Amino acid sequence: MTHSYVPGMGVFHGHEGVREFFREWRAFFAEYYAEPEKFIDAGECVVVRIRQGGRGRISTVGVEMSSHWQVYRLRGGRAVRVEIYRDEGDALVAVGLMG
């Protein structure tokens, strides 16, 4: 996983890196969900708008976060890289669909 806009989350590599990202991210939540809302075919990439929210582990407060965009770069039909963007335009630029 790369290009994360989440402060302090950094860059993660390989299967173990993805697992580590989710361990760290889920540590904030007692309950968590992430739901895809829109898919954009960009050839060897897929751009996905994600809605997410949950309930804080410590605060117990429910939260729904602003949607964000994920870019999945594919090789042989498998995701080999995931990038996270706040803005649809930035995600579309990243995959060459906008200039």
Tens-place pLDDT, residues 17-52: 878 888 888 888 999 999 999 999 999 999 999 999
In a domain, 8, yes or no: no
Residue 65 lies in a domain: yes
∠ at Cα 82 (81, 83), nearest 5°?
125
Number of Cβ within 10 Å of residue 68's Cβ equals: 20
pLDDT of residue 94: 96
Q: How far apart are CA 72 and CA 62, in angstroms?
A: 28
Residue 89 in contact with residue 8, Cβ under 8 Å?
Answer: no
Q: Which amino acid is at 83?
A: E
Between 87 and 18, the more confident residue is: 87
| Phi, psi of 89, deg, nearest 5 | -60, -45
Residue 32 belongs to a domain with what CATH number? 3.10.450.50
Total tally of structural domains belonging to the chain:
1
Domain extent for 32: 14-94
Percent of the chain past pLDDT 90, that is, above it, reads 60
50 within a domain of the structure (yes/no)? yes
Q: How confident is the model at residue 8 (pLDDT cuts 50, 70, 90)?
A: low
